[in-house]
Chains A and B, each alone.
Chain A
């Protein structure tokens, strides 16, 4: 693992992986959207509105998945001082914030026709809003210091503290009465989603994961190049 935490090695592998992840991301999301919108059945209770699920649910998974990655990267930055881990965490934050925003917006659009409200302060919705602010807080904190090293450390600390929120979001629907329904997929018995609806859902989830890898590679590569430019300028002026 430590062998790959080297910027040159990373750039080499990342450049080779990027064309594959980005094209498969496009293929999976397009097929997922096509099946989701045109070629999957309406729900027995929710009718056509259920199609919001194909964006909402994968985006919600991403918001938790990305935060977990960001917390792991922050921990390895604090413990092993890998600068690449710091760059990964910095790159993940805006991507995670975007997916969380998508989750909140599609959730509101889904809640209005089905529940009869855009928003309620139940445990699930509130904890996801907290997640959104944790991402924003990370992004603000990481750039708040003149010394970038200080910013990285402070933001990594925030990311680790905020990780407590991840299990709370996941289990909020089981621990407390919420308006949001419990999980359909991660149950001990069979998933509560018919296979005809599960296929586009999983395709979208895969597409979003590949999209994440692609954006992450591009962002990390950009930061690495910026750092090299800065270093060269310092050499020149010094």
Chain B
């Protein structure tokens, strides 16, 4: 084997084992690498809900209630399978609306999620308003937001 050949094999094998090692490590740490849990995760997996956690999903259609001064909001976080009621007091990001993605940080007590922070999550679709409107009109809307 020539020195060049040997270096090539060494680097390829080294990189391959590094890939396998990282894949294993990332799979092992999967539960700590997720940024938020879905309502189904909360209901189905045994997640420690005593400490502060993040839950994410869509703001359920028709679930959004605001107090008269607009400071207290109640809504449900849903992944279209399960949903969790949430309450929050404070300012909301611009994109916070029904059928829009949301990530809430706080803690779960007696089945109600008391959020301390609300982050809005948006999807990967970008288009002008007219296109969105005509897609909805034509019934070809594929996105998750049907508002």
Contacts and interface: CB of A to CB of B under 8 A. Distances in A.
Main SS of the interface on chain A?
loop
Contact of A193 (B11, B26, B103, B127): B127
Interface stretch (A85-93, A131-139, A159-167, A203-211): A159-167
A134 to B, nearest CB: 14
A79 B11 contact: yes
Interface string A169-209: 00000011111011110010000111011000000000000
Interface stretch (A6-14, A95-103, A117-125, A221-229): A117-125
Interface string B1-26: 00010011001001100110010001
A41 B129 contact: yes
B93 A176 contact: no
A192 B126 contact: yes
Interface stretch (B32-40, B43-51, B65-73, B106-114): B32-40
A193 B132 CA distance: 11
Nearest to A50: B126
Contacts of B33: 123, 176
B138 interface: no
Contact of A44 (B7, B18, B56, B128): B128
B119 interface: yes
A116 B93 contact: yes
A173 B135 CA distance: 26
Given A160-B11, A177-B37, A184 B124 contact: yes
B2 to A, nearest CB: 11
A115 B34 contact: no
A46 interface: yes
Nearest to A172: B33
Interface residues of A, number: 41
Contacts of B94: 113-114, 116
A176 B30 contact: yes
A116 B92 contact: yes
A42 interface: yes
Given A123-B33, A176-B33, A160 B95 contact: no
B122 A46 contact: yes
Contacts of B38: 177
Contact of A164 (B22, B35, B95): B22
B77 interface: no
A120 B35 contact: yes
Given A45-B95, A116-B94, A176-B35, 7 more contacts: A50-B126, A115-B122, A160-B14, A177-B36, A182-B124, A193-B125, A197-B127
Which 6 A-B residue pairings sit nearest by Cβ, starting from the closest?
A116-B93, A41-B128, A194-B127, A122-B35, A44-B132, A184-B124
Interface of A: 41-46, 50, 53, 75, 78-80, 113-117, 120-123, 160-161, 163-164, 168, 175-179, 181-184, 187, 192-194, 196-197
